[in-house]
Structure 1
Amino acid sequence: MARIVFDLDGTLIHSAPEIQFVANSLLADRRLEPLTLAETISFIGNGAAVLIEKMSIARGIPADQHAELLATLEERYMHSSDKSEVFAGVLPALEALQGAGHRLGVCTNKPLAPAKAVLDHLGLARFFDVVLGGDSLDVRKPDPAPLQATFAALGDGPQIYVGDSDVDAETADRAGVQFLLFTEGYCKVPHAELPHHALFDDFARLPELVEGLV
């Protein structure tokens, strides 16, 4: 059986409205213009610290406020999950993969505590034996080390990574693992330009794609 690792934001869950809501609460504290959903999506992918950095540049917030903003964002996100939702077809796909004996994990650039919180809130935590966050190691994706560590924790077997973005594609390529690219997430470049083994826009296709790779 295979080891299958998933990205989180934009792959398993549509979290951009949640991230937008929490980020805008920080901007509201400072009486600054809120982020649009499109802006928020453009800032997602490299972790909370980078999101804060990009938001600060966009709204003229001094760099010396970065640590305070990041800590507040993470604290508020821990208690805000109502605006995130699981993408259609994810639950039955995970049930099928788990039922077939595959071992599943999550490797995300979201900090570990809020990642686990949202997985639990949305009923997804039960599927995953291993979850690594953007603060679990000293580096984060697209460095391959977090993905490699997630696979290592899952034991032996073929390795498949499932993600939605250019960051995920680069991570998989650098790790030398098979990559399935979900096209309905938060990718910032044309999908055809990214290295991948297959594209899919419907999670109902995922179990079949996995079996084809295995």
Structure 2
Amino acid sequence: MLKSVVFDLDGTLIDSAPDLHRAANVVLRSEGLPEITFDQARSFIGKGASVLIERVVESVGLADDPEAHPRLLGKFMREYERDPALTVLYPGVIDALARLELLGCAMGLCTNKPEAPTHIALKHFGLDRHLRAVASADTLPVRKPDPAPLIKVMHDLGGPGLYVGDSEVDAETAERAGLPFVLFTEGYRKSPVEDLPHAYAFDHWDQLPGIVAQHFGALEA
């Protein structure tokens, strides 16, 4: 039986909020604008760089300036497309991916992160060695919570399986794709765990291989 597992990136495999916070504030300082807090930056993550900067623009009072968003987004992307300096893998990620490979899982990625920083991060952390298919914010004309990118990755892997993510966007994407959702509870979600539809939940990556084995084992039984 094919065992496909697809992951979100930010807030799931990697904790990138410190780098996103840094990049946003570099841009704001260059504009002579007030900086945002780390908690603000963290709450802006999930729907891609354009939406993040849209929220930054609103937070600093420039929502009525039609030129602010494209200008700040351009500056932000130049900062964003660097090797991660403050981003870290969540504890246990690499070991979990290795264990999933031993279980015979085909693995992929579905993220709203733009293509260039996605591949920079995957290569930087060695995640590209484990992921056979990737959909970023630029892969299709639509992005999560539209289910099309997730469905594409599952198709590229050879069939449906599990989607692993951390947020409301990920939960909605899995639900719309008709796939079981595995919630990583230590990411960037804003809602209580019980308010997000999910088939399984975990708070440390050493738990995920057991969840995957349980799921596919039950299907084979």
TM-score by length of 2: 0.93
Moved more, 88-97 or 116-125: 116-125
Mapped to 2, the partners of 1:57 and 1:8 lie a distance apart of 25
Deviations 1:67-98 (A, max 9, x none): 22222222221114011000001010001111
For 1:210 and 1:125, locate their aligned partners in 2 and report how far apart those are by CA, in whole Å. Answer: 20
Distance of 1:125 and 1:60 partners within structure 2? 39
Deviations 1:12-40 (A, max 9, x none): 00000000011111001011121111000
RMSD: 1.0
Q: Is the 8 A contact 1:164 1:183 kept in 2?
A: yes
Q: What amino acid is the match of 1:181?
A: L
Query: Counterpart of 1:85?
Result: 88
Aligned to 2:172: 170
1:182 to 181, 184, 189: 184
2:219 counterpart residue number: none
Segments of 5+ residues of structure 2 without an aligned counterpart are: 217-221
Aligned match of 2:57: 56
Residue in structure 1 matching 2:193, options 164, 171, 191: 191
Q: Partners of 1:154 and 1:96 in 2: how far apart?
A: 18
1:103 aligns with 2:106: yes
Distance 2:115 2:125 in 1: 15
Instruction: Confirm whether residue 128 of structure 1 aligns to residue 131 of structure 2.
Output: yes
Aligned equivalents of 2:171, 2:196: Cα separation in 1: 6
Question: Which ranges of 4 or more aligned residues in structure 1 deviate by more than 6 Å?
Answer: none
Cα contact 1:56–1:63 (8 A) shared by 2: no
Contact 1:116 1:131 in 2 (8 A): no
Question: How far did residue 65 of structure 1 move?
Answer: 2.4
Q: Deviations over 1:132-165 (max 9, x none)?
A: 1112111110110111011111113x41000000
Distance (whole Å) between structure 1 residues aligned to residue 75 and residue 161 of structure 2: 36
Match of residue 201, structure 1, among 200, 203, 210: 203
Q: Which amino acid aligns with 2:3?
A: A
CA distance in 1 between partners of 2:78 and 2:126 (Å): 21
Percent of matched pairs sharing the same residue: 46
Cα 1:80–1:56 change in 2 (3 A) is farther
- Contact residue 8 and residue 106 of structure 1 kept, 8 A: yes
Look up the match of 1:17: 18
Unaligned runs of 5+ in 1: none
Equivalent positions of 1:145-156 (< 5 A) are 145-156=148-159
Taking the aligned partners of 1:119 and 1:22, their CA distance within structure 2 comes to 19
Contact 1:18–1:80 (CA under 8 A) maintained in structure 2: no
Kindly tell me the number of residue pairs found equivalent between the two proteins.
Answer: 213
